[in-house]
Structures are given as structure tokens and as C-alpha cells.
Structure 1
């Protein structure tokens, strides 16, 4: 029997449809940059607080979605939308830097979808992060939220008004977490309680939220000052304080009793798979927790051998254990006041600035300041950290140092911490990325943790090349900072994949890092609260060292360190395999003149 012509045509056309559907539009930089710009607009609109931190002022009056269900739906929809739209293009024609953008967008969007398989939203609060801390920082008037115009002040009133609903949503998530046995360890819940007590005060003189009305711009009229002072006081008394007290009562009376005694997420339902994912995400590698643990053990052993030499340089007679005990207890190696810590860091600054041009051909335009961590979060905050500034330079980057219990803060680590967090560390890395106009916004403001923290630790090493460790005690501090990051590989994987207890992890930390009990506890509890993040430092630094050694060996006397650093930082914060490919291309280009 013969087929009719219409039926035959239909058969042929239907067979051809899949092939037609696979035809992709050749990508061009212009088309892709337009897509990236659309993606970034959608991202900022759905993440208004992130927009504020990035220096985009359009959404300063919004808090964004408060329920985790809405947040997860938004993240999923955004990732799926731009994975689908980018898949419509064939990236083969793109120049190398534009191909990095294409691959990097898809990589990050796929990570978003992969992360949604795990219930991180059921633990919305810890001692290092959470809206209770972010809102207090923003509302203090000393962070990313601007308070320069009357509209700025009114924007904050609108944004902060959403906090009570957000607190209700967080408590609902934590109740779900209790039901599903996905809860914080009790030790960490206890750390959150004093933070909430601090921000839950209704004493307007002590409230961090009243900071902006204590420093009105001179241009404000008396009427505006009076109105805003009254409105801010009402906001604190009627909304922010009651919300924080409600959260405090819930955390203390309901959540703490339901907290777990185990430390790692490996003990949670599906926790081993969850941790393997965060390890991959944090390191941007396919390394398993077991492999990372072994790398950590090797690094700790290597750096301990260098400590043996360092103790001889400072004239210490005794065993390495006795040397560590001396470093942990000697009062002359510690600060006496907060003011003394600030003065020490301020003294480091001009020394580094005078020599940094030996290492870099380009330096950021953005300024930065040195400040102590705010009182409401210093008990659990890291010893040092960095918050990037705005692109226009109006809001400087900030190098935060922790002055909690200054008598526990070591003098010998100041140079290493400054190099890591300020210059040439995170301030250079993040500011230069923001200032690279040719990169899409999602690359200028995005971050790959292994690259970012790897660069910070690599920057500590660079201090050797500009004389920052000529003082043998500061060299001890450099080794302290490095072994600290090696220990992180061992402890983080030990806690989350090997079932280590909090106490076991603290003991290992104290045995191998010359820091006191306060720091050991803060650090281990940080690793418990933020699984995997601590893996990024040493893994990233090892890759940077490897790539530099490769370039030096390949190029010999023509190797230019300043050009190498420019190449490393010119792509923004990227996964380590992307960086490696870029450096390999750079080496080949240098060889070819």
C-alpha cells in the first residue's frame, strides 16, 4: 500500500523536527553580553540586599522574598531560565575570555540547581550568618546601606519593616527542620543567643539600629531630623526589638532543646552526600573529602617541620610542643587593648603600600579602611575578614579585625592577616574584579571561594618577597596562618565526613595551631556552622603555587611576576580549572612572544 503525499510529508517533517530543534544560534560576544546583562538584572531584582552590597542602590528599600519556599522557587526559576536561554547558543565561535563567561554562567547556575537538593534553608541562622546579623550591620549605618540623603533614611525604614515577617519565616523553617531532624548543634545555637540579646534591646541609646540618626548629614533640615529620629525609634521599639525577642525566645526555649549533640552535617539525613557536594563547590574540584583530608595531613606535617626551624630563629630552646605552649600563653606576644591592635594594623599598611608595586602592575582605585568587628558579632567572628566597597569608591572596602578579648590576640600574626584580607589579598582581588569593565557584571561581583580564599593565602606568602617577615616573630605568624589553613582541611573533613566530635576537632586544632582556647573554639565552631568553606583556602593556594611554579619553569628568565599576577586577577574570581586553562594559554602566548 502506498502512502498519501500529505502523510509522507508529515512523516518526513516530524522526523526532521528533533534535528531542527538542535540547531543553535552561533554565539557572539554582543549577544552573550546582552544575555548576561538580562540575567544580572533579574538576579539583582530578586536579591535586593545583594544588590545593595554590590553598590546598586535601586532596591535599597526592599528586603526581598522572606519565605524559603519563595526564595528556593526564585532561585530555581532563575537558574532554569538562563540555563535554557544560554543553551540556545553555540559557544564555539566565542573568543577565549567570552567563552569563560559562557561556561562560568552555566557552571554557577547548575550549582544553584544542585544545591537545591539539600535542605540548607532549614538552618537559616547561625553565629556567623543570618538575617539577624545582616540587618544589624546594614542598619548600623557603617555597612553597605547608604545613609546620605533623606530618601536613603526612608529606604531603610521600608526595608527594615519586612524583618518581622522574615523572622516568622525563619522560625517556620526551623520548626520544619526539627521535624526532619535537620537542626543546628546545641553548641552553635548557644552562640546565637547573646547576639540576639544584643540586637533585641529597646534602649535606644544602646541600639545598633539607631546609629544612622546619631550622625545625620549636615544638609538635613531640623524637621527631617526630628521626623526620622522619631520614626527610627518607633521602628526599633515596635518592630525590630519585638521580632528579635521573639526569635530569641524561640531559639532559647524551642530550638536549643531540639538541637543536636553531633557536630557534622554527615550525621544528618543525606548528610554525607550533602557534604561531598559542598566540598566540590567550595574547592571547585572533584576532590573527595577523603582526598582533601589526606592533603591536609601532608600539609600540616610539612609546615610543622618549618616551625622547627622557626623556633630556632627566635632563639627558643625546647620542643615544638613547648614552643606552641609559649606562643599560646606568653603575654608579651599578645595585645593589651583594642587601640593597640588597631595601631599595629595601621602601622603595617604603609610598609606594604610602599612595596606592592614590586609585585603588581595594576592596583585598585578603590580605597579601604581598617575597623574592629562590631560588638554585636565579635564573640563569634573570625579573627580577620574583608568586606568589599562599592565600584564608585564612595563606600570603601573594610578590613575587619576582631578585638574581642584583646589579651588573646597575637601580635605575631598581624602581617599575615593584613596581607590576606587587605593588600594584596582580598582588597586587590575583589576591587580589581569590580573595576574590570570588560567583564560581565556576574563575573565582576561573583565569587569562587577557592580562588578568592586561595588568593588570600597566596598573598600571605607574597609577604616574603617584600620583606614583611624579616622579623622572625612575624615569620612565626606566617607559619601559624598557613598551618591554620592546613589544619582546616583535616578538621573540616574530620567533622563532617569522619564523625569527629567538636571536642576532638578543638584538640587537633590546639595541637597544631599556636593559638589559644578562645580562637580554637571560635574556629572549630565556624567549620561546624559553615561546612566546606574552610577547605577553599589551602586547596586554592596550592593551585596558585602550582601554576606559578609551572610558569616560572616554562618561561625561565623571561618570567615576569607582575604580568603573572595581572593574568591571574584579570578574569575575576573563577573556578580553579578555568584559571589553570587561562594560565596555560598565557604561558603559551609568552613563549610565542
Structure 2
């Protein structure tokens, strides 16, 4: 994309002011440009081949990711036990770190230079992260292969169950679950001795996730799902064999593994967990949290700076909420308005089915309006589904899972129907924009569909970019003709306020010594969120320090870049093309995105 611009600029600068340039001189210039371009292409190919080898070897070590990519050769493999995985990953990164040092960035074409900057930054940050004790915290209530494995085994996720070979592949994959889970126990036990543990309140939320899979009949297990839906085309012999094999797998392997882990948590781990919740209470905790800030936001901001930004945003959004209260002529102050929105049945759905249908309906509305602000769209579609029952209690209110790499499976916009009071009607438009189109679905699906990106850029990402884009996408609602209902506009403010409060609460918990209760109180006082939703959010920030900062800070950066481009280009600014420029090269750290957009603006002005 940049190459034609740069080559054109090079020729133009050479010929500028040289109206009497002879044909011979021009031929020499063209030959030099052609030679430079050829060298660049050759070096770029070598570099991209190196990146593809790195990606392939990485996926070999994370076969679960291979399944998400639609690569069936990985479907019978599980992740390695943690110590062996760490050794192999360290060796992999050391190998490619040495190879990267042999690359001369100046010889690469512009797109490859972006890849170089991204991977160099990633490698450097990984080295910093090795100074801390993340290996002792391999799972939490938000994240862990124990839940991914269950989703795979249910037949409702990326693991295919279409052929006999598919069923046999999962049987083989499942053999690796117990060794991996044993290594998780070992790591967590070591963490106890090192003073690096999950907070007790978080560890307690893990118990029901494991206990949910302790059943007394195989037919009652989530893992029985593929047997319930076994294709009629299978032979009688295969059906009989698979039924017996899955009964044995569930009752002799899966159930004992989940039961033993639940008992370990209750009897050994939880009694010795820390009662504090912030990273500042961990060894080297302040530096660890600062690392997490940089890791997730890709920005160089301190916890104190972020905290102050959050307080100002919370105050500003409260003022906007008051305007909505006045518009709908609610009699009472803002806290009373919040309580009215929490308690009045008119703002909530009466059934999970009604909730899902509302999101399916708004999907149709948004799809017709996308061309107003975009000249690109992903080929893959998305579907709306409820969160699976086994993980609903501790899952977030909504989430997005990208389509398969081959496009055979659509993206999935998950809505949590566990607590209908945590899913108000007034957030339908803004949440759909954020999680689906033109938010996460646009960004992630498009990234996978871009032909000229190395695999590591197609299938990796940065929270600040992905979540910053999704929150920025919400801000486009009025430009898309949405938020005409004042309550739907209030829903937009609710979502924005949530992200603003995160700046305050995350830094409060991990840098300023806030308690869980203090964080919950702050969020209840500054929003109309349901208390159950607030509790789940606060516990998410406890488990994922720094991650929640990325939304608002990423949005700020993208909006800042749009304002910069609009001011610099004036009448030449095209918002559709700006959005293409943000999305067309995939997710990247925000400083690299900023440099890219400024190059694009300069080229537009030339």
C-alpha cells in the first residue's frame, strides 16, 4: 500500500525543478528506483518467510490456537504441561530474536517495516515480562484452558465434530488435559511458596467452573454434546464405538480431572491465598503493574496519570447523563435516575429469547448503515448467541469470537443471558456496535482477510487497538443514524462511563491500595449498572490488571489521530478512507499506528 506512494514520492523529488532533465537522466533514475525496489522485494520476502516460520512454530506449541485457525491437523493435540511449554517457548524466542537481529530494517518495504517494528517491540516486551511471576497465575475466573477445553468438548466452539475422524481427534486431544491441569496445580503451589497467588475472592470463583463438570452420568456432561448430535451418516459400528469411548473419557478422565482441581482449590489453594486484591501487594508489584499497563495499552503512561484522566472523564460523562435525565423529564436527582433505570422492569427483557432477538434485530439495522462511514467490510458475517450455561455465571455481559480463518464458521457475538437485569434494553445499540459491527467483528474479521499481512499479524492483536477501535466505533453511532432515542444515547454514555470508570478503578485497585468494596462502591455511585454486573467487572479488573485500561486510552488515541488527519487535510479528509487506513493493516501498538497514520496524511498532502 505504501510502496507506490514512496516510489512516486522518490521520483517526484528527484525530478522536481528539473524541467530540462534529459531522457538519459530520467532513465538512470528509473533504473536506480527499480534496483532499490528489487532489493527491497527480495529482503522483504526473506523477512516475511522468517515471520511465517516463527508463526508456524508458535502454533505448534499452542495447538488450541491452531484449531481456532481452522487447521484440522492440530485438533488431536493439547497444550504442553506448563514447564515444558515455557522451556520450548523460551528457546523459540531466543532463536528468532537472534535471527531478527540479522535483519536490516532499511532494506524492507514499508509494510514489512511495520511488521519489523511490531515484532521487535513484542520481543522486547516479552523479555521485560519474564522478570515477574506470571507463570504462577496460569488461570483465573476470566481466562484458562479449563474453560476453552470445555467449550471445545461441548461441540459449540471451534473444535469440529463433523466426521468420525473429528470425534477421534477430540478423544486424542482430551488425553492431554489431565497432564496440563496437573502442571497448573504445580505452578499454583509454587506460587503459594513465592507469595504470588490469586486473591482469595478470585480463586473462589474458580471452584464452580470446575465443579460444574463433576457429574455422575456421562449423559449429564457438557462433553456429551457431540454424542447427542452425532451425524446420522456414521455407521452403527462407529456410533457404538464412539458412545463407549466418550462414556469412558468423561467418567474416567474428564470428571476426575475437574473434581480433583475443585478439591485442590478448596482444600489447599484458597485457604492460603492472599486476602489483598491489588498487584501492588505482590513481590515487585508496582513495577509488575506498570509492565501490565504498557503491555495492554502499548502506551507510556503512569498509573497516576491514568487515574487522573479517568476521574475527569467520569465527571464529564456524568454531566452528559444529567442532560439525558432532563431530556426525558425525570423528576429527581441523578442517583434517583440511576436507581429508576436499575429497578424499573420497563428497561429490561422478560426472557433470554427476547434479549437475543433484540440484538438480531439491531444487527439488521446497523448492517444497512455501515456504508455511510465505511468503504470496506469483512466478507465473513457474524451470528448472535447466548453464552453457554456452564460459564455464564462468571462470564462478561458480552464478548466476540472471530470467524474461522477459512471463513467456514462465522464470527460469534455472545450475549450473557444469565442475569437479565444486567442486560438493559438501552445498551442494545451501543453494545452491538462495540462487539460486532463496526466494532470487533469488523476489525478482527477484516484483519484475517487481508492478503498481504504475515500470519502473526493476521491472528494476533493488541488490546488497546482492538478495544480502542470498538469503543471508537461506538462513538460513530450518531453518524450512523443511531442513538435517536434518548435512552439508547444514555446506553452509549453507560458504556463510555464504564470504560472511564475502569481507568479509575483499575489503577485504584492495583496502584493505590483500593479494596474490592471500595471499587464496587465507586462504580455504583457513578453509574446505573446492576450490582451483580459491577461485582463481575471489579473482579475482572482484579484478575486482569491493566487490560481494562486499554479501551478508553485506545479510543482517545484513535480519535486524536482522526482529529489530526482532519485538521491537516481539511477538505481532502475522507472519513471512510481514514477508517480504511486504521483497519487495513490490522492490529498494532498505538505508537506504530500513529506513525503509520502520519505517513498517510503526509502522502495525501503531497
TM-score interval w.r.t. the shorter chain? over 0.9
2:183 pairs with 1:152: no
User: CA shift at 1:200, angstroms?
Assistant: 2.0
For residues 462 and 138 of structure 1, the distance between their equivalents in structure 2, rounded to whole angstroms, comes to 35
For residues 439 and 75 of structure 2, the distance between their equivalents in structure 1, rounded to whole angstroms, comes to 29
For residues 126 and 488 of structure 2, the distance between their equivalents in structure 1, rounded to whole angstroms, comes to 41
The match for 1:91 among 105, 122, 130 is 105
For residues 146 and 304 of structure 1, the distance between their equivalents in structure 2, rounded to whole angstroms, comes to 47
For residues 201 and 493 of structure 1, the distance between their equivalents in structure 2, rounded to whole angstroms, comes to 41
Q: Which moved more, 1:83-92 or 1:70-79?
A: 70-79
Unmatched 5+ stretches in structure 2: 1-38
User: CA shift at 1:236, angstroms?
Assistant: 0.4
2:189 pairs with 1:175: yes
The match for 2:69 among 47, 54, 59 is 54
For residues 369 and 205 of structure 1, the distance between their equivalents in structure 2, rounded to whole angstroms, comes to 28
Question: Which residue pairs with 1:127 in the alignment?
Answer: 141
For residues 215 and 574 of structure 2, the distance between their equivalents in structure 1, rounded to whole angstroms, comes to 56
2:520 pairs with 1:506: yes
For residues 183 and 415 of structure 2, the distance between their equivalents in structure 1, rounded to whole angstroms, comes to 32
2:312 pairs with 1:298: yes
Give the TM-score, by structure 1 length: 0.94
SS of the residue aligned with 2:421?
helix
For residues 242 and 316 of structure 2, the distance between their equivalents in structure 1, rounded to whole angstroms, comes to 58
For residues 520 and 77 of structure 2, the distance between their equivalents in structure 1, rounded to whole angstroms, comes to 41
Question: Which residue pairs with 1:271 in the alignment?
Answer: 285
Per-residue CA distance 1:429-481 (angstroms, 9 max, x = gap): 00100000100000000101100000111111111111220011100000000
Question: Which residue pairs with 2:44 in the alignment?
Answer: 29
CA contact (8 A) 1:72 1:116 kept: no
The CA RMSD over aligned residues, in Å, is: 1.3
CA contact (8 A) 2:421 2:530 kept: no
Question: Which residue pairs with 2:124 in the alignment?
Answer: 110
User: CA shift at 1:551, angstroms?
Assistant: 1.2
For residues 551 and 89 of structure 2, the distance between their equivalents in structure 1, rounded to whole angstroms, comes to 27
Question: Which residue pairs with 1:15 in the alignment?
Answer: none
**How many residues get paired?**
567
For residues 202 and 451 of structure 1, the distance between their equivalents in structure 2, rounded to whole angstroms, comes to 45
2:215 pairs with 1:212: no
Q: Which moved more, 1:77-86 or 1:534-543?
A: 77-86
2:433 pairs with 1:419: yes
Q: Which moved more, 1:492-501 or 1:296-305?
A: 296-305
Question: Which residue pairs with 2:267 in the alignment?
Answer: 253
2:57 pairs with 1:42: yes
For residues 72 and 605 of structure 2, the distance between their equivalents in structure 1, rounded to whole angstroms, comes to 45
Question: Which residue pairs with 1:381 in the alignment?
Answer: 395
Mark the CA change 1:381 to 1:518 in structure 2 (over 3 Å): closer, same or farther. same
For residues 217 and 562 of structure 2, the distance between their equivalents in structure 1, rounded to whole angstroms, comes to 55
For residues 345 and 150 of structure 2, the distance between their equivalents in structure 1, rounded to whole angstroms, comes to 34
For residues 218 and 469 of structure 1, the distance between their equivalents in structure 2, rounded to whole angstroms, comes to 48
User: CA shift at 1:408, angstroms?
Assistant: 3.6
For residues 202 and 133 of structure 1, the distance between their equivalents in structure 2, rounded to whole angstroms, comes to 20
Q: How does 1:546-557 map to 2 (within 5 A)?
A: 546-557=560-571
For residues 201 and 525 of structure 1, the distance between their equivalents in structure 2, rounded to whole angstroms, comes to 28
SS of the residue aligned with 1:376?
helix
Question: Which residue pairs with 1:287 in the alignment?
Answer: 301
Q: How does 1:447-458 map to 2 (within 5 A)?
A: 447-458=461-472
For residues 94 and 73 of structure 1, the distance between their equivalents in structure 2, rounded to whole angstroms, comes to 32
Give the TM-score, by structure 2 length: 0.92
For residues 559 and 360 of structure 1, the distance between their equivalents in structure 2, rounded to whole angstroms, comes to 14
CA contact (8 A) 1:492 1:535 kept: yes
For residues 196 and 384 of structure 1, the distance between their equivalents in structure 2, rounded to whole angstroms, comes to 22
Q: How does 1:151-550 map to 2 (within 5 A)?
A: 151-550=165-564
Q: Which moved more, 1:431-440 or 1:53-62?
A: 53-62
CA contact (8 A) 1:62 1:159 kept: yes
Question: Which residue pairs with 1:7 in the alignment?
Answer: none
For residues 200 and 574 of structure 1, the distance between their equivalents in structure 2, rounded to whole angstroms, comes to 41
User: CA shift at 1:106, angstroms?
Assistant: 1.5
User: CA shift at 1:325, angstroms?
Assistant: 1.6
Question: Which residue pairs with 1:74 in the alignment?
Answer: 88
For residues 122 and 72 of structure 2, the distance between their equivalents in structure 1, rounded to whole angstroms, comes to 25
CA contact (8 A) 2:80 2:176 kept: no
CA contact (8 A) 1:450 1:537 kept: yes
SS of the residue aligned with 2:329?
coil
Runs of 4+ in 1 over 4 A off after TM superposition: none
User: CA shift at 1:202, angstroms?
Assistant: 3.4
User: CA shift at 1:414, angstroms?
Assistant: 1.1
SS of the residue aligned with 2:412?
strand
2:592 pairs with 1:582: no
CA contact (8 A) 2:69 2:404 kept: yes
CA contact (8 A) 2:402 2:444 kept: yes
Question: Which residue pairs with 1:9 in the alignment?
Answer: none
Per-residue CA distance 1:14-33 (angstroms, 9 max, x = gap): xxxxxxxxxxx987211111
For residues 254 and 243 of structure 1, the distance between their equivalents in structure 2, rounded to whole angstroms, comes to 16
CA contact (8 A) 2:306 2:503 kept: yes
Q: How does 1:10-21 map to 2 (within 5 A)?
A: none
For residues 202 and 121 of structure 1, the distance between their equivalents in structure 2, rounded to whole angstroms, comes to 34
